[in-house]
Amino acid sequence: MSQTVPLLRWIWPVALAATIFVASGRGQVAAPDIVDFDKAAHFFVYGLLATLVVRAGPRPVWAVGITILYGLTDEWHQSFTPGRSVEWMDVMADALGAVVAVAVYAGWAGYRRWLERPLFGLQPRVENPGQVVPNPPS
């Protein structure tokens, strides 16, 4: 059971990465007709991905590195998709989003507590109160 819990932490980052992969494989992605919306979308989506990765357990610098590496592979994946192209500014937006999100998560305890609070006021179930597992390192 102890190995299952850390693996379960990776469900959300893997699900988001899979969603990005599917979207990158589409010839056209629906988006508003706003100047530079694409870069803002990259910034926020990869910021979310980096936050989910750091919450899964690795140190912040590793979370940023994993996210940037995934952004690079995503751009490479797009190079094989008709109608899509590789844009280095997308990689820069991905990297900046990852750095900012992880820095905010690691450096702002109030934000971290807000993200880690139970949904809908539910309290986490503790099966053995004598062996409470601390939160992952920030």
At residue 34, the pLDDT reads 65
At residue 42, the pLDDT reads 93
- Give per-10-residue mean pLDDT for the chain (138 aa): 68 95 78 74 96 93 97 91 85 97 94 80 57 52
DSSP state of 131: G
Q: Which residue has the tokens 């940023």?
A: 64
Q: In sequence order, which residues have a C-beta less than 8 Å from that of residue 45 and are 6 or more positions away?
A: 16, 20, 97
At residue 33, the pLDDT reads 66
At residue 28, the pLDDT reads 66
